[in-house]
Every structure is written in structure tokens, then in C-alpha cells.
Amino acid sequence: MRDLNYQLKQLCRRNRDGSFATQHLRERTLTMIANQLHGLGYRHMNSHSLKPKHVEALVRHWQNQGLSVATLKFRMAALRWWAQKVDRQSVIARSNDHYGIARRRYVNNISKAQSVTAGQLAQVRDPHVRMSLELQQAFGLRREEALKFQPVLADRGDHIQLKGSWTKGGKPRVIPVRSEMQREVLGRARQLAGRGSLIPSSRTYRQHLSIYSTSTARAGLSKLHGLRHHYAQQRYRELTGWPAPAQGGPDAGMLTSEQKVLDHQARLVVSRELGHEREQITVVYLGR
């Protein structure tokens, strides 16, 4: 194994930032980057020898491949993570604009929301998977969050508290408990999980993730990220009193100045509850 590949792998193993999925994808991405640098003629590199010329060469290579803006941004994030861990942040420009990477454009006013019915849930044989699906729908959780969910730790009465080790980016967050339906889901989750998580003690996360994928596929369920869209749209309607543009509600140009203020405030709430920090990301879920 080349020095750079080995050192980047060790860097990832020593720094467990973010969720399991994030760590795994970051390590794969950095391994690919190390291989590409070698292929571009940069031999005998180590983890501390990253320079602006290497970043420029990688970006040109990726742009010539015609990769999407989202992919380019993810790879740049991996590069910045590497640079930050070896105290070389200055070798990468702060803005992707410097490299000619356009800002990501989000699709407007097309709903990707979906929900699962009691009948569909009944087709999911594994009770732990079924419970995680209910949590995804009731609280807008990501799949990994719903699998790692520990009711005895998360349930705080009027809200749930997600630990950073369960979430994307390792950021803990709070989601309010607003309805009897949510309370009932949490009660059953507590009963099923006991003092543990919704991953049975006999399984690893990877094993249970595989069972989740198999169980939902056999039940005819797919694109389950749509459960987060469903939650976001429900929450927006609750906060504003009107449906989101993606549900056929008024777009930004139709709102009064007072409604625009309420719209902005609602989007900030939805963004935080979904685990994002930017109001702009809500366009994906709600439209504009």
C-alpha cells in the first residue's frame, strides 16, 4: 500500500467524525483521491504534503469527468477534512467558487414526500425495522438515526434528544413531541428496545442495515427518504397554516410581506428539526 493511502486510512481511523455512514464514505473518497493523485503523476506523497497544485489538479480532473455539483462539493468537503486534520487548511480556498464549482441548484415545487400505511408496515416482518420506519415517519429521522435510536435516552417527554453518534455530521439535535401519535410511537419503541437501541443486541449495525434493506424491499417499500419530506411538509403546514409549494401551496411570489416572514421562520424550524443548518436546504423538501 502506498504511503498516502495508508496514512489517509489511519487518519480516518483516528478521527471518527460524523455518523458511521459518513465515516465510511469519507474513507472511500479519500482512498479514491489518493489513487487519483498517483494517477495524475503525484508520486511519493504523504498526508502532510497536500498543496494547492494538488487540489487544482484534482478539481480539473473531476470537472473533465462531468461530475455533478453535489459530487464535486462532497469531494471538496473530504479534501478540506483531510487538510484540517493535518493543519494544512490554507492550501484549499475557502469558497468552491474559486475553483469554478457552481452553487448547487435545488429542484423547486416537486414533492418527493411519501408515507407508509399500517398495511404496508404489516408487510415488514422484522419488528425492529418496522419500529424504525414508524420513527422515520413520525419525527423525520434519517435511516441511521432511526436504527440507532435508543428510546430510554432520547425520550425527554416533550421532545426527543438525538445523540451526535446517531446523526449525520455528529451534530446532536432536538425534535419536539407535538402529538399523541408521536407519544404513542415512542411508547411502543421503549417497550420494544428496553434499555438498548432499535438494533437488536445480537446484530451489528451493518448486519441490521442489511436486514432493514431486505425487509423494506420485500415489503415493496423504496425511496424511504421521502418520509423526511412528508414530515417537513406536515411541519411547515402546522407552522404556517398553508401547504408548502411542493404540495400545491403558494409560491414565494404569492406571499404577502407578513407571510414571507412566517414562511422564513417556519423554514428555519423545519431545517433545524431535520438536522440541517441552512434555510436554503428546505427548498428540497418544501419547494419555493
Distance CA 111, CA 90 (A): 40
Give the residue-averaged pLDDT of 142-146: 96
Average pLDDT, the chain: 93
Whether this prediction's pTM lies above 0.75 is answered by no
Give the residue-averaged pLDDT of 209-216: 96
Task: Give per-residue pLDDT as tens, 88-133.
Answer: 999 999 999 999 887 765 555 778 999 999 999 999 999 999 999 9
Here the cell at position 115 is 408515507
